[in-house]
Amino acid sequence: MFEIPTLEALNLAPALPAISLAFGVCVLLLLDLLVVPKDRKEITAWLALAGIGVSFVLNLAVFNQTADAFLGMFVADQFSGFLNIVILVGAAISILLSMDYLKRTQIERGEYYSLMLMSVSGMMFMASANDLVMVFIALELLSIPLYVLAAFRAPEAKSEESGMKYFILGAFSSAFFVYGAALIYGATGTTNLPAIFQAVTAIVAAGGSPMFLLLVGAGLLLVGLGFKVAVVPFHMWTPDVYEGAPTPVTAFMSVGAKAGGFAALLRILAVALPSFVLADGQTTAAWQQLAWLVSAATLILGNIVAIAQSDIKRMLAYSSIAHAGYIFMAVAAAGTQGMADAAVQAALLYLLAYTFTNLGAFGVAMAVEKDDGAGTRLDDFIGLAKTRPDLALMMALFMLSLTGIPLTSGFLGKFVVFKATLDAGLVPLAVIGVVTSVISAFYYVRVIVNMYLREGEGDPAAGATRYVNWGVYAAAAGTLIMGVFPVVVTNLTDAVTLAATVIR
């Protein structure tokens, strides 16, 4: 009844970027254990960067093709190719930010980088997952190392608490995901996303009890992924986890986990369920209403609660909730017939923009942070423009980008997302989006006010060592280049389509 597939049939070539990284993790663990001396752990970091570089090159090699691997469970297309770039760039900057931070906070252990790479490979599998089983495995591969990383500062109570909270809610959300997947499997008899699409179309036409399973299943899937990307009402873990985790981990988590989560969300919604309950004459999918509400609630709550924060990490945590809301606008837009590709492109652009900007902001936050984890209040930024004009200027750039001021990547992201939302006919959602953008200016501008306008001693920003500077400069360059020459990236995203994915 069962044949063992040959290696040719598995067709691993398209999956090489992700596989190479997973393999790299094993090599890195061994090298770190056997070769790298105990007091020279930055060697491990460089090896990890090399691994990311290899994966990046392989990704460029497979970038412009659409091919499947693992018998249709894995698909490499422009969507995954672009997301891989986002993820790898984010990971590389995160490693740069981590190197000195680990040393000065005395948590420099070699496993750190292996765990990070493991999570990155999970994100890459997530970007390519074309089957619910694959999504699940990738989700766990992404999450489990992050639980450990969040608690990496153990035995410090805050960090342990952060890891514990993240772990419990992460496991909880995975359970929702699996149960949702089980119900969808029950309704359709398959876990392959494109095949689910065909089955769903048939079920919608016929109606009956599978319809109920499908509805509940899709709902649970969304709940599970909603936890991962931190949208309201599944956001409450975010501020605590972000505050307690070591700052470079927070930075990495805020962009990587988000990219992975949205990758799965977009692919499931756009490939498996685009016509979900699309009865005759209707042009919007049933889940659009839900996505609309989630997006609006996330935007409003994230932006308003962020105003009340006095700690930069918590402020950025709520800001990351808010930005999940903006990306979710694109998700909602994908629910209008014919809008899937444009919405997916918008979401990808937003993710890349957010990756650069947010990593940069966390980088500067790290530079101001003290060795014992203090120095993360917004007031600690007072006078930074005098002591470190370069860092202050870049922080200002990141804050303006997060607000969405032109000539920064954040503006491009908002522009395409708002455009997609309007094109999809969701005018009220677009209005909520712009109004909350204005609200967001309150708390982003406050950082600039502290750095430039308020008089004070000024923090020496002792954490701004060489590699942190490199990371922040790289993020600033990305933010500016995307803002001034958007063509560089829009050329890549323009090619992205999710419509013609392989069915096995």
Partner 1 sequence: MPEVSSAVSLTSVMLFIPIVGLIILLFLREDTQREAIKYSALATSLLTFAASVLLWLGFNTSQPGLQFAQRGEWITSLNISYYVGVDGLSLLLVMLTTFIMPLAILASFRTGVLEERGRQKLYYAFMLLLEFAMLGVFVAQDLFLFYIFWEVTLVPMYFLIGIWGAEQRIYAAVKFFLYTMAGSILMLLAVLFVGTQAGTFAVPDIIAGVQNGTINFPFDGIFSTQSFLFLGFLIAFAIKVPIWPLHSWLPDAHVQAPTAGSVILAGVLLKLGTYGIVRFCLPMFPEASVAWAPVVAALAVIGIIYGAWVSYAQTDVKKLVAYSSVSHLGFVVLGIFALNQQGIAGAILQMVNHGISTGGLFLMVGMLYERRHTKALNAFGGIWKVLPVFGGISLVITLSSMGLPGLNGFVGEFTILLGSFGSQYLGFFFTLFATIGVILAAVYMLYMFQKVFMGELDKEENKNLPALHWQELAVLVPIVILIFWIGLQPGVFFSSMDASVNQLVTQVTDVAASVALR
Partner 2 sequence: MSVQIEAYVILSAVLFILGAMGVLLRRNAILVFMSVELMLNAANLALVAFARQWNQMDGHIFVFFVMTVAAAEVAIGLALIVAIFRTKQSINLDELHQLEG
Distance of CA 83 to the CA centre of its chain: 9
User: What tokens appear for 483 in the block?
Assistant: 């803002």
442 contact choice in partner 1, partner 2, none (CB below 5 to 8 Å, kind-dependent): partner 1
Q: What is the rounded CA–CA span in Å between residue 274 and residue 223?
A: 18
Among 13, 133, 422, 495, contact with partner 2 (rule: CB under 8 A): 133
Q: What residues contact 56, with CB distance under 8 A and at least 6 apart? A: 17, 84, 85, 88
Q: What angle do CA 12, 16, 22 make, to 5 degrees?
A: 110
Q: Does 418 bind partner 1 (CB under 8 A)?
A: yes
Q: Which is nearer to partner 1, 248 or 404 (CB)?
A: 404
CB of 157 to partner 2, least distance (A): 5
Q: What is the rounded CA–CA span in Å between residue 395 and residue 340?
A: 34
Binding mask 241-270 for partner 2 (x = CB under 8 A): --xx--------------------------
Q: DSSP class of residue 69?
A: E
CB of 175 to partner 2, least distance (A): 4
Among 10, 11, 140, 445, contact with partner 2 (rule: CB under 8 A): 140
In terms of phi and psi (left: phi > 0; alpha: psi -120 to 50; beta: otherwise), the region of 230 is left
Q: Which is nearer to partner 2, 171 or 499 (CB)?
A: 171
For 76, phi then psi, to 5°, come to -105, 120
Q: What is the rounded CA–CA span in Å between residue 376 and residue 370?
A: 8
Q: Closest by alpha carbon to 120, among 52, 177, 208?
A: 52
Q: What is the rounded CA–CA span in Å between residue 281 and residue 260?
A: 34
434 contact choice in partner 1, partner 2, none (CB below 5 to 8 Å, kind-dependent): partner 1
Answer for the pair 314, 240: CB distance below 8 angstroms, yes or no. no
Q: Does 91 bind partner 1 (CB under 8 A)?
A: no
Residue with tokens 């995901």: 177
Q: Does 111 bind partner 2 (CB under 8 A)?
A: no
Instruction: Determine the interface stretch with partner 1 among 149-157, 175-183, 197-205, 429-437 (rule: CB under 8 A).
Output: 429-437
Q: Closest by alpha carbon to 408, among 376, 363, 361?
A: 361
Binding mask 394-413 for partner 2 (x = CB under 8 A): --------------------
Q: In 3-state terms, what secondary structure has residue 174?
A: helix
152 contact choice in partner 2, partner 1, none (CB below 5 to 8 Å, kind-dependent): none
Q: How many residues bind partner 2 (CB under 8 A)?
A: 44
Q: Which is nearer to partner 1, 6 or 491 (CB)?
A: 491
Q: Does 419 bind partner 1 (CB under 8 A)?
A: yes
Among 68, 77, 100, 240, contact with partner 2 (rule: CB under 8 A): 240
Q: Does 416 bind partner 1 (CB under 8 A)?
A: yes
Q: What is the rounded CA–CA span in Å between residue 498 and residue 339?
A: 11
Residue with tokens 């894995």: 74
Name the residues that contact partner 2, by CB under 8 A.
Answer: 1-2, 132-133, 136-137, 140, 144, 147-148, 151, 154-155, 157-158, 160-165, 167-168, 171-172, 174-176, 178-179, 181-183, 185-186, 189-191, 213, 239-240, 243-244, 314
Name the residues that contact partner 1, by CB under 8 A.
Answer: 385, 389, 400, 403-407, 411, 415-416, 418-419, 422-423, 430-431, 434-435, 437-438, 441-442, 445, 449, 452-454, 486-487, 490-491, 494
